[in-house]
């Protein structure tokens, strides 16, 4: 039985499948270039979370931001980083005038898995990187004990 709808509406349409593959590839490929125009307007900051014996360190790459553009808060067991990124460029060269503007907001939420004493949390911003120091509760600060692994042949 022949379908009433054209083939573009079917999931097995080869043209749509190829378009999706190329769109996904282009998006991933362009965003991997650090100096691409896409990167200048990208508003989802990269986040690194490292665990140390007595604390967690969270770092977020937030270049060219001001104190008024960044918000950090803790609600329950979640740490939230919010902000607004603004990008403006203006050139007045011989024969042309160029003005580019881009604005966007971001919100990253990191699950900590424990309640935090907010008074002990510290945050600093330097050279485009936000660093947040979150102490672990005492019950989580135990010594790591090495377990010997026996290999059998």
What confidence score (pLDDT) does residue 63 get? 85
- In whole angstroms, what is the distance from residue 139 CA to residue 117 CA? 13
Instruction: Give the per-residue pLDDT at 66.
Output: 85
127 dihedral zone (left: phi>0; alpha: psi -120 to 50; beta): left
Angstrom distance (rounded) from CA 53 to CA 140:
9
Is the pTM above the cut of 0.75? no
For the chain, which residues score pLDDT lower than 50? 1-10, 33-41
Domains contained in the chain, CATH given: 14-88+102-140 (2.60.40.790)
d(CA 38, CA 105): 15
pLDDT of the residue at 80: 93
Between CA 111 and CA 2 the distance in angstroms is 51
DSSP annotation string for 98-130: EEEEEEEEEEEEEE-SS---GGG-EEEEETTEE
Bridge partners, 50 (sequence order): 57
CB 20 within 8 A of CB 14: no
Question: In angstroms, rounded to a whole number, what is the distance separating the alpha carbons of residues 136 and 123?
Answer: 15
Q: What is the C-alpha to C-alpha distance for residues 45 and 82, in angstroms, rounded to an integer?
A: 10
Give the pLDDT confidence score for residue 37 in this predicted structure: 42
pLDDT score at 25: 66
pLDDT number for residue 57: 96
Contact 72, 60 (CB under 8 A): no
**Which of 82, 71, 72 has the alpha carbon at shortest distance from 133?**
72
Distance CA 130, CA 51 (A): 16
């Amino acid at each position: 039985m022949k379908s009433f709808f054209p083939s573009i509406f079917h999931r097995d349409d080869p043209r749509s499948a190829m378009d999706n593959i190329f769109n996904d590839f282009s998006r991933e490929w362009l965003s991997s270039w650090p100096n691409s125009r896409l990167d200048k307007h990208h508003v989802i900051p990269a986040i690194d979370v490292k665990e140390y014996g007595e604390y967690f360190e969270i770092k977020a790459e937030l270049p060219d931001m001001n104190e008024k553009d960044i918000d950090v808060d803790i609600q329950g067991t979640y740490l939230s980083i919010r902000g607004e990124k603004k990008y403006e460029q203006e050139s007045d060269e011989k024969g042309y005038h160029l003005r580019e503007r881009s604005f966007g907001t971001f919100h990253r939420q990191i699950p900590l898995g424990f309640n935090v004493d907010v008074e002990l949390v510290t945050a600093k911003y330097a050279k485009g990187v936000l660093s947040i120091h979150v102490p672990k509760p005492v019950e989580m600060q135990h010594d790591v004990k090495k377990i010997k692994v026996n290999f059998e042949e």
